[in-house]
Every structure is written in C-alpha cells, then in structure tokens.
Chains A and B, each alone.
Chain A
C-alpha cells in the first residue's frame, strides 16, 4: 500500500507533469538557427577589421554566438533577431581600434545586414551584409 502510494506520487505525478511540459514548450520561441558558414559581401567589415578573407563562420549555442572571422573569434549575444558586439581591428586602416558590430538577421532570407562603427574615421557607420552558404548534399 505504502509502495503504491509512493509510486503514484513520485512516478505518476511527474508523468502527468511531463505531458503538460511538452505541450507548453511547443509555444516557446527559440532563436533562429544561424550556425554554419556565411559569405560576407565586399562591404566595410573585411577592410575595417583587416580580415584575410570574406568568410564568416557562426558557431551557435542558442542566443550565444561565436563569430569566426578568419582567425578572430568574437562572442556575441542574439536578442530577438539582432546582435551587437565589439572587436578590435587587427590590421588595415583602423588597426588597433575597437569597433562596434551590429547585425540584423533575416531568417527567411538567410541574410545578415548590419553596420560597423568606431572611432576610426574610415570605419564609422559603414554597412555590411552576409549570406548563408548552403552546404551541398553529400
């Protein structure tokens, strides 16, 4: 009798709760999936940060992004569909300058549009964009 009560309390109740959780969780809105390689356009970002090439790789853990720009890795946080982060230019016209990078994600079009801003005059409020590279099926 005691075991049955314990069983109902400790096993039955969580099972009921689990079905409720699964139903409720369907309404949660996770961030858009951005992980993978992206192609940067020829805009300001590449020369401003002094990058070797126009590749952008995003390693995503939900809202937390790790932007891989050539050998530079920059952490960023996604709010809704936008992110903002800071990076120091390694080379180019703004070498050593701390730059603000702002990006807006369009999940449907699979594009990122944004701008770079910093104390360096040549990189003040200049736009950039990136498009997701669709991996070919093996």
Chain B
C-alpha cells in the first residue's frame, strides 16, 4: 500500500482506539490519558500483534513506522511546548517552606530509590553498552517525574485547586517538572557523550549558552510579541507563526547540541510571556489538535514498542513488582512523609503524595527517549510503561479514598454554618438561563434576611492540557456563569459565588452541594430534555426527590417584569409552598398576587389561610383572591392564564397541575403547552412542609381570607 494510504489508515485506527478506550476510562472515572495510553499498548505487540499478527503486520508494517514516528514526534514537540507554556514560575513562589521542602523531597526520594534499584537491575536488565551512571541517573529521573497536566486536571475537576493541598501540590509539581527535565537533559548529554556522538564539552557549553540566550534575548523578544498582542487584542497569524518558528528553532538547537529537541520545545514554552489572554489564545489554537489528533499517535508509537510479552516468568514479574514498589514508595511515600513533617495533616499529606505519584504521559515521554538512546532495554521499557499506567490509574480512586469529595464539602460546610444568610444554590446548565435563576432566587429571599448565592456549573470531564490557574472557576465554567455574574453586577446582588467542577452525576452533586453549603433553596432551570419530555423528570426530578432544601423549578418563557403573578390553589398540602413563595415575591418585587382558588363542585367553603407575608399591610392591597368551582382545576388555570394578565404562574408540586412524570396515562403538561407565561414550580423540603402544616393551621385560625 502507498505510504500515505498506510499512514492515513493507521491514524484512523489509532484515533478510534484512543477515543473508545478514553471514553471507557471516563465512564470508570479515570483520566482520559490512561485510556489513551492503554489504547496505544493494545495496538502494539502486547495485544493486536499477539492476537492477530497478520492484521498487525498489515496495519503497522515496519517500514511505515518511520512516518508515524515522525508525525508523533511533531505532536510531542507541540505537547512539550504547551507544557512549557503552562509552566508559570509564579506557581513556585510564595508557597512557604512546606512546598519547598516537599517539592525537593518529592524529587530526591524517588530519584535516590530509583538509583538504588539501578544497582540491582543494572546487571540483570542492562548490558555493557550502557554506563552505570547513565542508567542510574535515568532510572532516578524516570522515577521522579510527575505528570503536571494530569495532576492539574484532577485538582481542577475535584475543586481542590484553592485548598492548601492543591496549592502545595501545584507548586511541587511545577518544581518537579523543571527539575526532572533538567536532570533528563544531563542524562541525555552524558549518554550521547559516551556514545561519542557529540563531545560532552560541546553539549555543556552549548547548553549554558542556550539557556542564557533563552532567559535574556529570547525572553525580551517575546516580550515585544506580547506587547504587539496586547496592542492588537488578538493573536494574529504573524505572531502565531513567529511563535511556531521560535519553537522549531529552539527544538532544533537543543537536538543539535545533544540535549533532546523536546527540551528545547519545553524551554521555549516556558519563556513565552504568561499574559493570560495570549496563553489562552495560543493554547486554544494548538491544544485540541495536539491532544485529540497528535498525542494518540505518540501513544500508539510508544505502544508499538511496548511488548508486555517480554516480561516473562516469575523473576521478570518480580522485577516489575520491585519497580512498582520503588516508584510508589519514592514518590508517594517521600512526598507524603515530607508534607507531613512540614505540617500538613496525614490526610492532606497522603492526598498530596498520591497526586505527585501520577506519572502519566510525562513518564512515557521520558521512557521513549530512554529506549531510543538505548539506556533502557525493551523489557525494562515495558515494565516502566506498565508502572506509568498503574500509577496514573491508581491516583483517582486512592485520592477519593484519602480525601473524599464529601469530606471536602463537609469542610466547606463548616465555614457556612457561622452565617445567617439565606443560602441558595443555582445550578446553571445553559448560560442564558443564569439571569432568570438569579431573579427567582432573589425574589424568594425571606424578607429581612441577607442572601448568599452559589452559582453552580457542572460539566463533564475533559482532557485539557492547559489549566488556567488564575481563574476560578475554570474558564469553561466561567463562560457558562458569565451572564448570571453580569446580571448580579447589574442588579447589585452581593455575595454571588461561582462554583464549577466536573460531575459524573449532576443530580447527586447538586443535592450534595446544597446540603454541604447549608442551602435553604435550590433553583433549577428547565429546558426540554432529549429523551424524556415531562417537565419534572431527569435531573430536575431527582433533585426534587432528594434535595433537603426547598426546590424551585423555573420555566422562563418571557423576560418581562413580574407585574402580576397567578397562584392557583387546589389542595393546601401541595400549594401552600406556592402561597409562601408568592408572599416573598410580593414583598421583594412589588408584584401583585392573584390567588385562584379552585374548589370542586359542591365542596363546602372554608377560609383560605394565607402566609404572614401576604397578610402584611404593604402587601395585602396587592393580593386578590378569586374562587372558582371546577371538576378539572387545570382547565380553570389554563383559562385564567390565557387572559394574558399574568407574567408568572406560581405552582406547588403535586398531581393537580399535571407536572409530575406520568408513566401511566396521558401526559398532561398542559400548563406548559397551552400557555405562554413563565412558570415557577416550588416544592418545600420535607421538614419545611411539616412546619408549614403547623403554621398554616395557626395562620388559618388567625387570618381567614376572602
């Protein structure tokens, strides 16, 4: 087959495998990178080559692997450039002694243990073409690396970034990143000088000159590009091309002087100015192509060289066990111990340790370099790749065990208990629904109390490489919450706190956040579900069922100010919540309230107890009560709403208004389909309902209406 046809076919197969196994990992709550690494291994001799050798040989003929390798190297250069762009020296500053000591120990401990392991493995898994010093230093560097991008994603996804653990971990990982790459550069220089490819003095002198130029001339030149970016307000194609040229030149120089091209890519990324907009635009242009398209090729390229079949017999597996032990003891043990000794609790120190133990893609990059240089043998490469996979996969479950999200939120709850503010949680799925939810939340604040609003955006897990540490929540979440935050600013609503994190189960997370934040109200928006078509189904239904706070579901259908609000009342059991909400709305917004009392034909008349808010002097004049008799209460409400005098209908949750999921019989969500006013459905929490029953009886005795 023609070389291009083969390459296109290979890329297609690799992308399908990477996306499929990555998606599976997402379901298993694992970082997507674990799936992509595993997919690469599965396409290699460990599975495809073993199960279907003919297919493997046809798909990945040896003569074609050069092209695949070249494309994957370009991807790796871009990846390392982006890792450098993400590297911000600010992260290493001002974190105190704990971060400094922990970061250094988290490097030296695994490095030291890796070197001790080298004493044992060198006579068994290496040969005399490799000097011991190069082998030992490489093993040390490979043991001490941390996958900064994966670690950063886990911290963001678990909302740990602003915690003490998160801050120290990020600082340590940043230090680790730079140190590991510097050590690797030394190892590469050492090995290449031994192979007499490039004299050591040229490499050393060249490296010193290169680093000096990067920190002075190049950095200054890039500062000029930054100013140009700030003047134009966007990343022009010329500036983008200049940055790419700089990346290529830097990679070319470091490859030429004998420290790998990847080092040059990383260094150039590291000196790129950290202007937030520039970094954001630059990564936006490169990130998806690199992560979705090019990196899987690197994983496959590494996987094609990973032959787990080389790990044969109990002795080889014992070597692998030893490697795992040293890797975990060095990184997890060393980081945990030092963090504990510098003042973190055992739980926090353990969380930091397991995060630092994440090796992911960075390990794979280092191992591939080691294999290419001949520093590590194919069997040792396979063992180390497995170690990288296992240490990355173990991070999330062990972190959850050590530092459960529930515990984190419980800690947050403690800080909320001191406040007397009325706390509302507003889960925002669609950005445009945010202002409406805020309007409802503000309207439902009990008179005389201050409010605190948590604007919550939940999003699915992503495989982003660059994390914007300056913004909280993360950029995606921020964009979704932006209209709500603007509305809060416009209407001078104080104490609105944005929250954003990854969620596998939105309804559970909404319920949990509401509980741990001590919320008295959850306001949900509604938009037509894809599968179910009843109004209160899906996530909304789950939250209604399980939330311990009051729940309001807002179906926004017009944006007019609420002049008059209709409150249909049929059974007090379900509709009392609507009456109470109407009282708050009347007080807070000045809207008029019309209570449509629907009685069955022939039913005796009895007084309608009104909540205190509706009986207030300043509100009483705006409250009207109409009484109608009808066997079909919903007909009466639809007729009333069609009159066009209302901007909002306020309903209790109950079978009367046909809003609950109806599995048997016709769905009669007629209020939604046959009217055009906005609807607000309220459900009181179980505890509040009990209280309401008691107070409504008392109120009924006190103030009969109509």
Show the binding face of A for B, using Cβ within 8 Å: 2-3, 6-7, 10-11, 14-15, 17-18, 21-22, 24-26, 28-35, 59-64, 66, 75, 107
Contacts and interface: CB of A to CB of B under 8 A. Distances in A.
B115 A18 contact: yes
B334 A10 contact: yes
Interface string B110-132: 01100110110111111111101
Main DSSP-derived SS at the A contact region: mixed
Nearest to B338: A10
A62 B119 contact: no
B104 interface: yes
A6 B341 contact: yes
B127 A35 contact: yes
Nearest to A16: B112
Residue among A14, A17, A34 facing the most chain B CB atoms (10 A cut-off): A14
A61 B119 CA distance: 16
Given A3-B101, A3-B342, A10-B337, A64 B316 contact: yes
A33 B140 CA distance: 22
B648 to A, nearest CB: 61
B654 interface: no
Interface of B: 97-98, 100-101, 104-105, 108-109, 111-112, 115-116, 118-119, 121-130, 132-133, 135-137, 140, 310, 312, 316, 334, 337-338, 341-342, 377-380
Contacts of B119: 21, 24-25, 28
Contacts of B380: 61-62
28 contacts: A2-B341, A3-B98, A6-B105, A7-B101, A10-B108, A10-B338, A14-B109, A18-B112, A21-B112, A21-B136, A22-B132, A25-B118, A25-B133, A25-B136, A26-B133, A28-B123, A29-B123, A30-B127, A30-B130, A33-B128, A59-B310, A61-B125, A61-B379, A62-B121, A62-B380, A63-B123, A63-B124, A64-B310
A14 B132 contact: no
A30 to B, nearest CB: 5
B51 to A, nearest CB: 16
Contact of A62 (B97, B98, B123, B132): B123
Contacts of B118: 21, 25
A62 B377 contact: yes
Please name the 5 residue pairs, one residue from A and one from B, whose CB atoms are nearest each other, closest first.
Answer: A61-B379, A61-B377, A14-B112, A62-B125, A3-B97
A18 B101 CA distance: 18
User: Which of A24, A25, A31, A107 counts the most B-chain CB atoms under 10 A from its CB?
Assistant: A25
A14 B133 contact: no
B310 A22 contact: no
Nearest to B96: A3
A31 B123 contact: yes
A109 B125 CA distance: 23
A10 B109 contact: yes
A64 B378 CA distance: 10
A11 B126 CA distance: 28
A32 B476 CA distance: 56
Contacts of A32: 127-128
A34 B127 contact: yes
Contacts of A28: 119, 122-123, 132
Given A25-B122, A30-B126, A62-B126, A11 B377 contact: no
Contacts of B125: 61-64
B378 A61 contact: yes
A21 B140 CA distance: 12
Contacts of A30: 122-123, 126-128, 130, 132
Given A24-B119, A28-B123, 17 more contacts: A2-B341, A3-B98, A3-B100, A10-B341, A14-B109, A18-B140, A21-B116, A22-B137, A25-B135, A28-B132, A30-B123, A33-B127, A63-B125, A64-B310, A64-B316, A66-B310, A75-B312
A31 B127 contact: yes
A52 B341 CA distance: 65
Most-contacted residue by chain A among B104, B108, B127, B316 (CB, 10 A): B127
Nearest to A20: B115
Contacts of B122: 25, 28, 30, 62
B142 to A, nearest CB: 15
Nearest to A63: B124
A2 B342 contact: yes
Contacts of A60: 127, 377
A26 B133 CA distance: 7
Contact of A10 (B105, B126, B133): B105
Contacts of B341: 2, 6, 10
A18 B111 contact: yes
A107 B334 CA distance: 41
A35 B98 CA distance: 47
Contacts of B377: 60-62
A13 to B, nearest CB: 9
Contacts of A29: 123, 128
A29 B126 CA distance: 10
B106 to A, nearest CB: 10
A10 B132 CA distance: 24
Nearest to B119: A25
Nearest to A19: B115
A77 B130 CA distance: 19
A10 to B, nearest CB: 4
Contacts of A15: 108, 112
Nearest to A75: B312
Contacts of B116: 17, 21
B370 to A, nearest CB: 13
Nearest to B124: A62
B128 A6 contact: no
A113 B299 CA distance: 40
A14 B111 contact: yes
Nearest to B115: A21
Nearest to B116: A21
Contacts of A3: 97-98, 100-101, 342
B49 to A, nearest CB: 12
Contacts of A34: 127
A66 to B, nearest CB: 7
Contacts of B98: 3
A108 B441 CA distance: 84
Nearest to A62: B125
A92 B98 CA distance: 70
A116 B338 CA distance: 58
B101 A10 contact: yes
Given A25-B119, A26-B133, A62-B377, A17 B112 contact: yes
